[in-house]
Amino acid sequence: MELEAGAAHGLDHSIIDQLLLTRGVAADDLARHAQPTIRGFLPDPSIFRDMDSAAERLGQAVLSGERVTIYGDYDVDGATSAALLVELLRQLGLDAGYYIPDRLLEGYGPSGEALVRLADSGSQLIVTVDCGAMAYEALGMARDAGVDVIVVDHHKCAAELPPAAALVNPNRLDESDLGAAHGHLAAVGVAFLLGVALVRSLRAKGWFGPHRREPDLMGLLDLVALGTVADVAALHGLNRAFVAQGLKVLARRDRIGMAALMDASRLTRAPQCSDLGFALGPRINAGGRIGESTLGVRLLTTTDPDEARAIAAQLSQLNEERRAIEAEVQEAAEAQLAGQHNMAVQVLSGHGWHPGVIGIVAGRIKEKTGKPAVVIALDDVQGKGSGRSISGVDLGAAIIAAREAGLLVAGGGHAMAAGLTIESARLADFAEFLDTRLSRDVERARAGAAMLLDLALAPGGLTPELVETLEAAGPYGVGWPAPRIAVGPVRIIKADIVGKDHLRIVAAGNDGRSFKAIAFRAAETEMAQTLLHRHQGRRFHLAGRVKLDDWGNRPAAELHLEDAAFAD
């Protein structure tokens, strides 16, 4: 499809419809997907196993004023899930507490000792969020201590479930087809559905009336949007609606802690989806990775503006420290890649690596190599590992299989991300297990990898109006990728390296129009070297995603370059 300069006007609906159709939306369902709303996508929470039981038990706690503790994971999904339930219960008149484990001292998932301590201190009900689906021993200890535990999770489950008063997880193996269709939800999305079910249950009991208002569920969508994007959950179906509507709530800046976080991120305009993943999320994560694990929940639940500003500043400082630590670990991990060219999964390990950054480094290695990566921080006895996968390769299932085979002390996750604990002596066996199990899947996924294009343009068609049109079909993310645009043929007018390793070019077409493009962290790639040194006299087609550059007096469309090909 050719789009000349200015042609974006009047074609908005046809372009959006084309994008939706190429992403699998049925022709008679375009309107619902073009404007994703909660009403349009929210399922009946009762389709999920144990949801009604969980809502009934939590409702009982509200009615009788029980002491409830929310036990969350230390990442953004865990922090937002915990904050959501704490805020909802506050609106219902119950001042719930929260507990976030220390990443280094307690590790991932519920600790049996911590659950028992909470019971001994008076908690009558504990709700675990973003963890607990595989916590057999810990939940057994809680049961023996006489405390009820509700598990709200989204990680993969085994056939045998741990003992819990209720376990709500769309990825249960015994989940209904309708429930399993929502397996892409982050834990915060599942927590929101529990909130819907809880309010419905209390409404049926006559809890609300002239002197007791129903809680503002829609006002919690800023938390749902942040946790969903930061956990890299697939943005299709209900998740798109969560994020689209959550961004509107974020723009109101009603939540004191979220407003402080945006200020600390120097975010003055209305936040976009990318801001959640690259500005707000990393700051929340920094507390759990290298600082104090409770900072994220404290920030998101505080009602004190001064406290919010102080925590947001602290998280920003921790995020800067995290970046420096991450760079050191990544450099060390990349040094090991040369010896693993033939492995289907990159398994990299090192002593002294900070466990708080290994997940980020695994993601960087995955992007660099195009293969799943597992990065493991070792001590004298064992290692803590984090893995990231590529589309079409279920790493979480492989990690669970390795645990069941006796190769891991603990492990679990979902298709695209997983965590594990391993004895140092089993590293070679573990790497061989993953290579054997996943080599065919990785080969198939890499062989089928292709850059799919949504639109082909002459340079004059790359306009701010086009960017605005394409943004209307968002929000974009994993599972709902931003449109890729091919622009050409063009000649390279200027090419250089900016920052540490970013390629910047200026290109012009036969129509006399020019534009800027940038390829991040690409200085050493074959594409960058070709454009830098072999562009004289040659014409190219450039492909990537178009963004709005609003630094100058007049906004301009800029291409975030991902690939290039000779045009002649």
284 and 411, same structural domain?
no
Asked if pLDDT for residue 80 goes beyond 80, the answer is yes
Domain membership flag for residue 32: no
Structural tokens at position 392:
């079409």
Q: Burial level of 477, CB count in 10 A (0-12/13-18/19+)?
A: buried
Q: How confident is the model at residue 1 (pLDDT cuts 50, 70, 90)?
A: very low
Asked if pLDDT for residue 454 goes beyond 90, the answer is no
Strand order in the sheet with 373-378: 346-351, 373-378, 382-388, 417-423, 410-413
Give the residue carrying structure tokens 């065919």.
440
DSSP helix/strand/coil, 248: helix
Structural tokens at position 399:
């990690």
Given CA atoms 259, 263, 265, 270 in this order, what sign does their dihedral have?
A: positive
pLDDT at position 8, please?
36
pLDDT at position 334, please?
93
What Rg, from alpha-carbon coordinates, does the chain have? 24
Domain membership flag for residue 296: yes
Asked if pLDDT for residue 114 goes beyond 50, the answer is yes
Domain membership flag for residue 69: yes
Q: What is the mean pLDDT of residues 420-432?
A: 95
Mean pLDDT of the chain: 92
**Quick one: CA torsion of 42, 43, 44, 47, rounded to 10 degrees?**
-150
pLDDT at position 5, please?
32
> Which of 267, 283, 317 is the last residue before a domain boundary?
317
103 and 250, same structural domain?
yes
Structural tokens at position 216:
């503002």
Instruction: Tell me the residue range of the domain where 529 lies.
Output: 451-566
Asked if pLDDT for residue 448 goes beyond 80, the answer is no
Instruction: Specify whether the CB–CB gap between 531 and 505 falls below 8 A.
Output: yes
pLDDT digits (tens, 9 = 90+) for 45-69: 999 999 999 999 999 999 999 999 9
94 and 111, same structural domain?
yes
Q: How confident is the model at residue 3 (pLDDT cuts 50, 70, 90)?
A: very low
Euclidean distance between CA atoms 221 and 145, whole angstroms = 35
437 and 459, same structural domain?
no
Instruction: Specify whether the CB–CB gap between 249 and 219 falls below 8 A.
Output: yes
pLDDT digits (tens, 9 = 90+) for 146-156: 999 999 999 98
pLDDT at position 512, please?
86
61 and 147, same structural domain?
yes
Contacts of 50-54 with CB under 8 Å at 24 or more apart are 50/166, 50/167, 50/168, 51/166, 51/168, 51/193, 51/194, 51/197, 52/197, 52/201, 53/165, 53/166, 54/150, 54/152, 54/165, 54/166, 54/168, 54/194, 54/197
> Which of 391, 414, 447 is the last residue before a domain boundary?
447
Q: Which CATH number is 519's domain given?
A: 2.40.50.140
Domain membership flag for residue 326: no
Instruction: Specify whether the CB–CB gap between 134 and 158 falls below 8 A.
Output: yes
Euclidean distance between CA atoms 485 and 562, whole angstroms = 10
Choose among 227, 185, 214: nearest CA to 83. 227
pLDDT digits (tens, 9 = 90+) for 525-563: 889 888 988 666 789 999 999 998 877 667 889 999 999
Euclidean distance between CA atoms 517 and 492, whole angstroms = 10
279 and 266, same structural domain?
yes
Q: What is the mean pLDDT of residues 272-277?
A: 93
Which residues have CB under 8 Å from 115's CB, separation 6+? 71, 126, 138, 139, 141, 142, 145, 147, 149
pLDDT at position 7, please?
36
pLDDT at position 37, please?
96
pLDDT digits (tens, 9 = 90+) for 295-341: 999 999 999 999 999 999 999 999 999 999 999 999 999 999 988 87
Domain membership flag for residue 77: yes
> How many angstroms separate the Cα of 337 from the Cα of each of 56, 99, 246?
52, 38, 40
Q: Report the domain count for the chain.
A: 3
pLDDT at position 12, please?
52
pLDDT at position 4, please?
33
> Which of 431, 447, 463 is the last residue before a domain boundary?
447
Q: How confident is the model at residue 567 (pLDDT cuts 50, 70, 90)?
A: confident
287 and 207, same structural domain?
yes
Euclidean distance between CA atoms 336 and 415, whole angstroms = 25
**Planar angle of CA 363, 367, 371, nearest 5 degrees:** 90
pLDDT digits (tens, 9 = 90+) for 15-48: 888 888 888 899 999 999 999 999 999 999 999 9
In percent, how much of the chain has pLDDT > 90?
A: 75
Choose among 311, 321, 188, 317: nearest CA to 261. 311
pLDDT at position 11, please?
41
Q: Provide the pairing of β-strand 166-168 with 148-152.
A: parallel
440 and 459, same structural domain?
no
DSSP helix/strand/coil, 504: strand
549 and 511, same structural domain?
yes
103 and 182, same structural domain?
yes
User: Which helix (H) or strand (E) is 349 found in, with range?
Assistant: strand 346-351
Domain membership flag for residue 4: no
pLDDT at position 537, please?
74
Q: How confident is the model at residue 368 (pLDDT cuts 50, 70, 90)?
A: confident
In percent, how much of the chain has pLDDT > 70?
A: 96
Q: What is the mean pLDDT of residues 415-419?
A: 90
Asked if pLDDT for residue 433 goes beyond 60, the answer is yes
pLDDT digits (tens, 9 = 90+) for 480-538: 888 999 998 999 999 999 988 899 999 999 888 999 999 998 888 889 888 988 666 78
pLDDT at position 227, please?
98
526 and 409, same structural domain?
no
pLDDT at position 9, please?
39
Domain membership flag for residue 177: yes
> How many angstroms separate the Cα of 165 from the Cα of each of 46, 359, 519?
16, 31, 50
Q: Which CATH number is 272's domain given?
A: 3.90.1640.30
Pick 49 or 6 by higher pLDDT. Answer: 49
How many helices (H) and strands (E) would you count in the chain? 21, 16
First to last CA, the chain: 20
Asked if pLDDT for residue 234 goes beyond 80, the answer is yes
Domain membership flag for residue 16: no
442 and 455, same structural domain?
no
Asked if pLDDT for residue 474 goes beyond 90, the answer is no
Phi-psi region of 422 (alpha: psi -120 to 50; beta: other; left: phi over 0): beta
pLDDT at position 535, please?
64
Euclidean distance between CA atoms 292 and 317, whole angstroms = 12
State how far Cα 563 lies from the chain centre. Answer: 25
